[in-house]
Structure 1
Amino acid sequence: MRFDEATSRRLAATYTTPDIVAQRAAIRAALHLLAGERVLDIGSGPGYLAREMAELVGPGGTVHGVDISEHMLAIARTTGPAPAGTSAPVEFSAGEANTLPFPDGSFDVVTVTQVYEYVAEVAAALTEARRVLRPGGRLLVLDTDWDSIVWRSGDPDRMRRVLTAWDQHLADPYLPRRLTGLLTEAGFETTHRSVLPLLNAGYRADTYSAGLIGFISAFVPGRDGLTAADVTAWADDLVTLGEDYFFSLNRYLFVATAQGN
């Protein structure tokens, strides 16, 4: 997908849904951040997680966010900082997962949320995350296995076609099932794995899946024989399900420790 200004703002809105607010809480709990730690957030998006982590590491720590989208960086930089003296400084800059603009061993913690499934060379990206972590530092990775999706539809065949086309926006729609081995090869020991289900029962506009409908509707027309009319009918069907609407999707959270050189 192209993260232009309109897409970036629409994506930022999904970060305020109860689903993703709860996801960030789970990430923070899994990290066990300590005062004074140095944190890097790869693919920092609108900056909500970076600023929340800055409050946890306190003024003695540091938080850096990197993102490939200048539009997302602009949004992150306008997110209100915590009151002075209670939070670590937060800096946002352009950067890619495979070429991080930091020296070796710069960080105690690296977080990567919904990023690696977009990266063609995940092994290289993990090696780069290992490079910027100190020995014993922690890496948290969260990605979706899109084979876990359950989405009620009045036309199941059309739903399958739409979701198959949607998979094309990712380098690997099923990445979590490979992550343990990839982490080991990159010099990490996996210490924690858990599943974070997203569940929306009954249609509501302020849910993750309601926002997802818009992204899919913009991406899939013209792919696998789907027309704009097909996709409009697909989206309209979902919205009109009302209380019978049902969506579930699993995201998988990994925490791993960087092994010594």
Structure 2
Amino acid sequence: MSQLTFDEAAVRSLEATYMSPDVVAQRGRVLDLLVPAVGERILDVGVGPGLLARDVARLVGETGRMVGLDNAPAMVAAAAQRLSDLPQAQVLQGDAGRLDFPDAAFDAAVSTQVYEYVPDMPQALGELHRVLRPGGRALILDTDWRSIVWHSSDPARMDRVLACWDAHLADPHLPARLGPLLRQAGFEVRRVEIVPMLSPRWQPASYAGGMMRSIHNFVRANGGRFGLSSDEIEAWRLDQDALIARDEFFFSLNRYAFLATR
């Protein structure tokens, strides 16, 4: 399985996608569900460039604590810079499957688009359960890539491209089994809801626009392992360009937010 490489260029690309209106709206919904309160201790597992973490840190205030964790050094550097003016925020390099914190260290935890990359989910959720205080809450948001509706003039080719893209994840369909996994780890699932990423028309500054760039780059580098020729990959991209030019672009993908308590 080929993983995405989160170097400085990838961080800049991800930041641009995360600042698009639909992802900003998603971040707002995550905050609505998490409800960070003044004085709370909150862990962000997979902090990325730190946009959500900054909002959380401001909400818990100087009497609270916000710790961001990521295993990519470029992400840790970007998040640390973004949070550098907030003394209640800290960013650390670490592994979602092995949380180097004491038991009951946090009131809440949040993780968006991270656990689908984690191969041992029982271990990761066991660790999350351990570091939350009794009654503490976890907000987890991940994508099931089976939910995608993406218009193409060649649906079979689109399926082959997306099958290649799925290979960069440990589980591209994690939400379908996340509820049972949370319960097995000792959590009580309080709420589950869909957070759609919808682009009924082309918008370059959107989640769909960011995904088109990321998928194209990944498939160009890895498509040969899945029987995709360079000509076929370029035909996929040119088809999307033609649909955009004719105002026939359509993209929809569901993310699933799980709110659970320890």
User: Normalising TM by the smaller chain, what interval?
Assistant: over 0.9
Structure 2 distance, partners of 1:178, 1:80, is 34
Structure 1 distance, partners of 2:165, 2:175, is 18
- The corresponding residue for 1:252 is 256
- CA offset at residue 81 of structure 1? 5.6
2:58 equivalent to 1:55: yes
Structure 2 distance, partners of 1:212, 1:159, is 14
2:32 maps to which of 25, 29, 32: 29
* CA separation of 1:223 and 1:8: change in aligned 2, threshold 3 A: farther
Structure 1 distance, partners of 2:234, 2:102, is 48
- The corresponding residue for 1:232 is 234
**C-alpha deviations, 1:52-91, integer Å up to 9, x for none?**
0111111211100000000111111222666xxxx66111
**C-alpha deviations, 1:157-198, integer Å up to 9, x for none?**
110110111111111111101011100110100011100011
Structure 2 distance, partners of 1:244, 1:113, is 30
Percent sequence identity over aligned pairs = 49
- The 8 Å contact of residues 73 and 93 in structure 1, kept in 2 or not, is answered as yes
Structure 2 distance, partners of 1:14, 1:146, is 18
**What amino acid is aligned across from residue 237 of structure 1 in structure 2?**
D
- The 8 Å contact of residues 142 and 252 in structure 1, kept in 2 or not, is answered as yes
Residue 244 of structure 1: SS of its match in structure 2? coil
- The corresponding residue for 2:121 is 122
- CA offset at residue 4 of structure 1? 2.1
- CA offset at residue 31 of structure 1? 1.1
Structure 2 distance, partners of 1:68, 1:179, is 22
- The corresponding residue for 1:67 is 70
* CA separation of 1:217 and 1:27: change in aligned 2, threshold 3 A: same
Residue 24 of structure 1: SS of its match in structure 2? helix
Q: Which moved more, 1:11-20 or 1:46-55?
A: 11-20
2:149 equivalent to 1:150: yes
- The corresponding residue for 1:44 is 47
- The 8 Å contact of residues 137 and 257 in structure 1, kept in 2 or not, is answered as yes
- CA offset at residue 236 of structure 1? 2.2
Residue 130 of structure 1: SS of its match in structure 2? helix
Structure 1 distance, partners of 2:225, 2:24, is 32
Structure 2 residue runs without a partner (length 5+): none
Q: Which moved more, 1:245-254 or 1:227-236?
A: 227-236
Structure 1 residue runs without a partner (length 5+): none
Structure 2 distance, partners of 1:33, 1:227, is 48
- The 8 Å contact of residues 203 and 241 in structure 1, kept in 2 or not, is answered as no
- The corresponding residue for 2:20 is 17
Aligned residue-pair number: 254
Q: How does 1:86-101 map to 2 (within 5 A)?
A: 89-101=88-100
- The corresponding residue for 2:218 is 219
Q: Which runs of 4+ in 1 moved over 2 A?
A: none
Quote the RMSD (CA, aligned, Å). 1.3
Q: How does 1:151-170 map to 2 (within 5 A)?
A: 151-170=150-169
Q: How does 1:99-138 map to 2 (within 5 A)?
A: 99-138=98-137
**What amino acid is aligned across from residue 252 of structure 1 in structure 2?**
Y
**What amino acid is aligned across from residue 108 of structure 2 in structure 1?**
V
**C-alpha deviations, 1:36-57, integer Å up to 9, x for none?**
1000000000000011011111
- The 8 Å contact of residues 50 and 83 in structure 2, kept in 1 or not, is answered as no
Report the TM-score when normalising by structure 1.
0.94
Structure 2 distance, partners of 1:148, 1:50, is 27
